[in-house]
Chains A and B, each alone.
Chain A
Amino acid sequence: DVKVTQSSRYLVKRTGEKVFLECVQDMDHENMFWYRQDPGLGLRLIYFSYDVKMKEKGDIPEGYSVSREKKERFSLILESASTNQTSMYLCASSSLAGGRNEQYFGPGTRLTVT
């Protein structure tokens, strides 16, 4: 079974703080993704990565950056947290081996910025 883990389930940070959200997958997947989920807006893609040290902007990258130094780990960074970044953050991974495959999600991190 694919396992995607996220470093924290719940996080409370103050406005202006630098925030790191970590994600690790154990299935040697090439692709990793960061989403945020907000009521009425569904899942929106922030950043994704096809390979180590590779990154691509998603639909809402403003205010975020990412890092992928190892294949299994993908970090989301909020350089200066703001209250509008209060959300549920979901990490996912996938592999294209064998064709079109679904993404596997971690349990999510509920971030509150006060």
Chain B
Amino acid sequence: DQQVKQNSPSLSVQEGRISILNCDYTNSMFDYFLWYKKYPAEGPTFLISISSIKDKNEDGRFTVFLNKSAKHLSLHIVPSQPGDSAVYFCAASASGNTDKLIFGTGTRLQVFP
């Protein structure tokens, strides 16, 4: 039972354009969401997070949007750069169980020149 789903295994975007990575969840108890970025042969690194009391959080070129009614979040990267090419994982946690993260299956983003 996949509680956090990333339905697009891969995405290809031209440099300078917007990359939009999507994530859906099923557990209504989730109230904190994170995006991680992973390069090959490295561990995931934290990118950006959002609490369920917000619907948007922005950090430089990265913005995460949360639609609670649709149980959907998205990561926007503008403008996309070749160095953004990596696998992106979304993750979720529930209050009262804040230590444990449930990860999605990942989306491989390729940014081409």
Residues of A at the B interface (CB closer than 8 Å) are: 4, 9, 31, 35, 40-45, 48, 50, 58, 90, 92, 94, 96, 100, 102-108, 110
**A45 touches which one: B4, B6, B41, B100 (CB < 8 A)?**
B100
List, sorted by A's number, 23 A–B pairs whose CB atoms are closer than 8 Å. A9-B41, A31-B99, A40-B9, A42-B104, A42-B105, A43-B89, A43-B91, A43-B103, A45-B100, A48-B99, A48-B100, A100-B49, A100-B93, A102-B34, A102-B36, A103-B101, A104-B46, A105-B36, A105-B45, A106-B43, A107-B41, A107-B42, A108-B41
Q: Is the CB of A102 within 8 A of B42?
A: no
**A90 touches which one: B44, B91, B93 (CB < 8 A)?**
B44
- Which residues 89-109 of B sit at the A interface, judged by CB distance below 8 A? 89, 91, 93, 98-101, 103-106
Q: Is the CB of B42 within 8 A of A96?
A: no
**B103 touches which one: A42, A48, A100, A108 (CB < 8 A)?**
A42
Q: Total A-B pairs in contact (CB under 8 Å)?
A: 55
Number of B residues, CB within 8 Å of A: 25
CA distance A92 to B103 in the complex (A): 13
Apart from A50-B99, A105-B43, 6 more pairs, CB < 8 Å: A42-B6, A43-B44, A100-B49, A100-B93, A103-B46, A104-B46
